[in-house]
Amino acid sequence: MHTDDQIIELFRAAVKEVDGKDLGAITRETEISDLGLDSVMTMEVIGVLEEKLDMRFPDEDLATLKRIGDLTTLVRKMAA
Amino acid sequence: MEASKTGTLVDLLDGVQHITDRGYTFLSDELKPSEWSFAQIAEESRRRAEKFRALGLNKGDRLALIIPDAEDFVLSFFGAVRAGIIPVPMYPPLALAKLDGYIDNAARILATGGAKLLVTTKKVEPILWSLVSRVKTLENIVLAESLRSSRSTPATSARSRETEAVRTANGANGTNGANGTNGANGANGAEGTTTSVAITPDDTCFLQFTSGSTADPKGVVVTHASLWANAAAIMVDGLKTASDHDRGVSWLPLYHDMGLIGFVIAPLRTAVPVVFIPTMAFVKRPSVWMKTIHDYRGTITFAPNFAFGLAAKRAPKSADALDLSCLRVLGCGAEPINRKTLDTFVSAFQPMGLNPNAIMPCYGMAEATLAITFDRLDEPYRSLRIDRNAYEEEHIARPFDGEASDVLDLVACGRTFPDHEVAILDEMGRELGEGRVGEIVFAGPSVTQGYFENAAASEEMMHGRWLRTGDLGFILDGDLYISGRKKDLIILNGRNYYPQSIEWEIEHIAGIRKGNVVAFSSRGDGDESTEELVVVAESKADDKEALAQAIKKQVKDACGLAITHAIVVGPGVLPKTSSGKLQRRRTKLLYEAKQLGSQGNRSLGSAATRVMLARHVTASALARLRHRISGVLPFGGKGGASARNVFLARRRADSR
């Protein structure tokens, strides 16, 4: 079971892996679309995160992800 | 069969119906295979044809397909075609995409195509029900899961079959009940029970909606005859395929011509087996593409330029990880081809046995069914460096080896197929000679009949016997080169510039989001006679002014052009098509209306999204309820209940 902070750190590592860049400060309120990733990159980050967490997000849940907080909520819901 | 000059997709299915040792393999998200031999596919197409007929569909009716899963899509598609029903493949709602815009576009496509029934999947269905009340012709939604058979085959992964059996228990029972007179799965009964519908080569096989123009969608009429001709061009003349050693691998979406015709329909022509990777699996984990080719010893694959860049970036670190020596054709098409991307791809995978000669640039579009030209097999891809000034001022392609800023580097797309012709026309419709730049035109049996119920657009599409591609290019030494879209051309002081060549220069600047740059010319505010060069780029950088200056300098240095306005906007501002392609014309219109960025980002804020999603689900549920209680159950009690269940060839439409 991961805490929000741990999930955010995994997300940060996934962005680093995909885009090679370090994200600045991000919180639960940060909008994923503001991170400077295009749509393909965003899905790639999701893919890397899935591997790190060893889970697979359903497509229909991904359609509702906007903020980092939505992502952490989804991860905790799926791990529960 | 091979010798026939024409035929139908049903003939192609019949032609493979005795082949039991190979067929199509559909991989799950976890890359677990579900195998269907050609014989099983042909049999399943008969069963689904019966199902569609039982749902009240007749020859010529349009059936919309919004099915993300390749297995359900392919089997439903073939079933419809065998019954003479015209499938209308549509893209599913994309992850993290705007749902409002999606529903609007879907409604327009359904209305234009006059779809009577929509097949979708359980996952997508909840948001689609509002379409039934919005689209006059649309009578009902059917779940793809309810169309599945409860077949069990030794070749199939037992686990996935079990899950499916549980999931579709209701649907499957309904099926057996409905088709009770003859076994749904009986090989003996299948042929006999199918009320044969006469299908001729001139009949419409399906409608291919192009991705670009969303306000006014146009459905390309794909006939059996044009499919037959293009499938022969691709599989026989172009790829020289052989059933016993070739194997296709594709992650391409099936609502798109390159995925559907290239990997679902054409392979039947020479009975080449194909492995399908879910598109989302590739986008999430680009390494699965080459990995699957390695695992299944794939010999043929196709993708647009961007995918080559993505795959190279995700190449395994160790050269031992993959053996790609099996790959003999790696087609690149569907969007402008960048020589540098191909070079990067080759350097990444050559250590893993990739034969550089496997890379095959190609050109095509939905209006040509699919393929127009292929580069030669087993030869290195080539690009031609031409004099930028001569191209822009005199519209001539003159080989030139000067400074990068004076050169256009274009990749050769090869030549067309037997019985087909490619030519270059000037503005007056006169044929131009070698090396002269004009509009690319195409003629031959692969050319579409036109757009569905749109005489004006169909007429505009043709110049005599020629299909006007809307693309600019030239022919040199027999090879076709594509230099840009006619309507995207930037004309400054009487000189023509190709927007991509400007955009590619800007993408190199640090801080600019790759693939999120648009260049266009616009009439200035004051003096009506001057055209301004405008560039809009996305960046998340804070100092947007410094970046704008960097853009101006880069374009000045690389192309010798002075930008009038360089505008740097935040991520998500540039308008894109449903398939993620930049919309130049729309950007220009927004710019001229001074609305660029003012209508917010492509993606909505989180709260707004939730409200919107809730609204769609509610609207959807209400529409469904209305549909139920108003007694509009066109398919009868029992049938209705079980039926209650969803980037390639360049586009003619306005995509880039």
Q: Tell me how many domains chain B contains.
A: 3
Give the per-residue pLDDT at B21: 96
Residue B97 has pLDDT above 80, yes or no: no
B96·A69 Cβ contact <8 A: no
Of B122, B455, B134, B349, nearest to A59 by C-alpha is B122
**Annotated domain spans of chain A:** 4-79
Q: Which CATH number fits the domain that encloses residue B548? A: 3.30.300.30
B121 or B651, which is more confident: B121
B513·A70 Cβ contact <8 A: no
Contacts with B94 from chain A: Cβ below 8 Å: 39, 63
- Assign residue B96 a region: left if phi > 0, alpha if psi is -120 to 50, beta otherwise? left
CA angle B91, B503, B524 (to 5 degrees): 100
A5 or B608, which is more confident: A5
Contacts with B280 from chain A: Cβ below 8 Å: 43, 59
The kind and range of the H/E element at B523 are strand B517-523
| Most confident region among B270-279, B402-411, B547-556 by mean pLDDT | B270-279
Give the per-residue pLDDT at B168: 38
The ipTM assigned to this model is 0.86
Give the per-residue pLDDT at B67: 94
Q: Which CATH number fits the domain that encloses residue B148? A: 3.40.50.12780
Digit-coded pLDDT (tens) for B303-324: 998 899 999 988 999 989 999 9
Is residue B187 domain-shared with residue B298, that is, in the same domain? no
Cβ atoms of residues A58 and A52 within 8 Å: no
The helix, strand and coil proportions of chain B, stated in percent and rounded to the nearest 5, come to 40, 20, 40
Q: HSE of A19 in the Cβ direction (CA atoms, 13 Å)?
A: 25
A74 or B163, which is more confident: A74
Q: Mean per-residue pLDDT for B266-284? A: 96
End-of-domain residue from the set B427, B455, B484: B484
Q: Mean per-residue pLDDT for B207-233? A: 87
List residues of chain B with CB under 8 Å from any CB of chain A.
29-30, 68, 93-97, 99, 123-124, 280, 283-286, 306, 310, 513-516, 539-540, 570-572, 580, 601-606, 609-610, 613
In sequence order, what DSSP letters do the residues of B103-150 get, joined into one string?
HHHHHHHHHHHTEEEEEE-TTTHHHHTHHHHH-TT--EEEEGGGG---
A46·B284 Cβ contact <8 A: yes
Q: Is B308 helix (H, G, I), strand (E, B) or coil?
A: helix
Mean pLDDT of chain B: 83
Q: Mean per-residue pLDDT for B259-277? A: 98
Is residue B494 domain-shared with residue B473, that is, in the same domain? no
What are the start-end ranges of the H helices in B205-273? 224-232, 257-260, 266-269
Give the per-residue pLDDT at B547: 92
A66·B609 Cβ contact <8 A: yes
Range of the domain at B105: 21-200
Give the per-residue pLDDT at B164: 40
Is residue B432 domain-shared with residue B442, that is, in the same domain? yes
Is residue B553 domain-shared with residue B480, that is, in the same domain? no
End-of-domain residue from the set B592, B621, B641: B592
- Give the class (CATH, top level) of A4-79: mainly alpha
Q: Provide the pLDDT confidence category of residue B101 given band limits of 50, 70 and 90.
A: confident
Cβ neighbours, 10 Å, residue B204: 18
Q: Provide the pLDDT confidence category of residue B494 given band limits of 50, 70 and 90.
A: low
Torsion angles phi and psi, residue B33, rounded to 5:
-85, 145
Is residue B112 domain-shared with residue B247, that is, in the same domain? no
Distance CA B37, CA B25 (A): 8
End-of-domain residue from the set B567, B592, B617: B592
Pick the residue from chain B with its C-alpha nearest to A60: B123
Distance CA B369, CA B269 (A): 15
Digit-coded pLDDT (tens) for B28-55: 999 999 999 999 999 999 999 999 999 9
Give the per-residue pLDDT at B646: 23
Q: Mean per-residue pLDDT for B639-654? A: 30
